[in-house]
């Protein structure tokens, strides 16, 4: 096909196909090539700054700690001033915030939610139930800690966790993200 034919084919594409085409061609050069890697190194400080100040947790509240999670977001404690904005879909989140006892029946669904989040992502275990099973430790139906099946980055102890402790946990996570300095490219892209 000549160059006019190629341009014509692109102009006749549906928007969905056009976006896939742009992602494929520009992605090859910008994301996977040496230009992309160079840009990623140059912009790492910017990505880190943006991530530290825009934590988007997927709130997975199972029991009483969820009320403290809500209190931390209310005007008195105002978690949003740290950039913490809860979302309800894993596709828009970079933090999995788990609180409450995870039953063995629920475990595969929670793992699936974690897998649906894109990289980079972090996990916060909030409260004794999420950390070790809490009052339900060694129960026949409860998992003894989220870290049995998902890597946990930050543990926030308490039963329940007070909103102040929760804010401190988010600040510890911000420190961790600052130290990790992850770029925009995932391992599969490089
Ligand atoms: S840690 Fe305590 S307050 Fe939090 S969900 Fe478990 S039992 Fe409830």
The reported pLDDT for the residue numbered 187 is 56
Whole-structure pTM over 0.85, yes or no? no
Please enumerate in sequence order all residues whose Cβ is within 8 A of that of 38, keeping only pairs 6 or more positions apart, or say none.
none
Give the range among 22-31, 69-78, 169-178 with minimum mean pLDDT: 22-31
Which residues approach ligand 1 with their CB closer than 6 A? 63-65, 99-100, 127-129, 134-135, 159-160
Cα(169) to centroid(ligand 1), Å: 16
Rounded to whole angstroms, the Cα distance separating 29 from 2 reads 22
Helix, strand, or coil here: 182? coil
Give the range among 43-47, 79-83, 85-89, 104-108 with minimum mean pLDDT: 43-47
Give the range among 28-37, 41-50, 65-74 with minimum mean pLDDT: 28-37
Cα(159) to centroid(ligand 1), Å: 5
Are the C-beta atoms of residues 69 and 166 closer than 8 Å to each other?
A: yes
- Residue position matching structure tokens 């770029």: 183
Cα(54) to centroid(ligand 1), Å: 27
Residue, of 155 and 6, whose pLDDT is higher: 155
121-130 tens-digit pLDDT: 999 999 999 9
Rounded to whole angstroms, the Cα distance separating 69 from 77 reads 10
- Residue position matching structure tokens 């509240």: 61
Distance in Å from the first CA to the final CA of the chain: 32
Q: Which residue segments constitute the domains of the chain, with CATH numbers given?
A: 3-50 (no CATH), 55-180 (3.40.50.12280)
């Amino acid at each position: 096909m000549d160059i006019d034919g190629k341009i014509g084919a692109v102009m006749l594409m549906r928007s969905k196909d056009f976006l896939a085409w742009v992602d494929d061609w520009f992605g090859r050069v910008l994301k996977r090539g040496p230009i992309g890697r160079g840009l990623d190194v140059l912009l790492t400080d910017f990505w880190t700054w943006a991530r530290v100040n825009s934590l988007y947790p997927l709130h997975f509240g199972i029991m009483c700690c969820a009320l403290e999670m809500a209190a931390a977001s209310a005007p008195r404690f105002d978690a949003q001033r740290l950039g913490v904005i809860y979302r309800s879909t894993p596709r828009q989140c970079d933090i999995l915030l788990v609180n409450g006892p995870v039953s063995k029946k629920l475990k595969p669904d929670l793992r699936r939610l974690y897998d649906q989040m894109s990289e980079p992502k972090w996990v916060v275990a909030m409260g004794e139930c999420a950390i070790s099973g809490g009052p339900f430790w060694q129960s026949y139906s409860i998992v003894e800690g989220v870290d049995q099946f998902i890597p946990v980055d930050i543990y926030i102890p308490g039963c329940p966790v007070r909103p102040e402790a929760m804010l401190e946990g988010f600040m510890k996570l911000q420190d961790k993200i600052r130290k990790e300095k992850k770029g925009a490219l995932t391992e599969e892209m490089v």
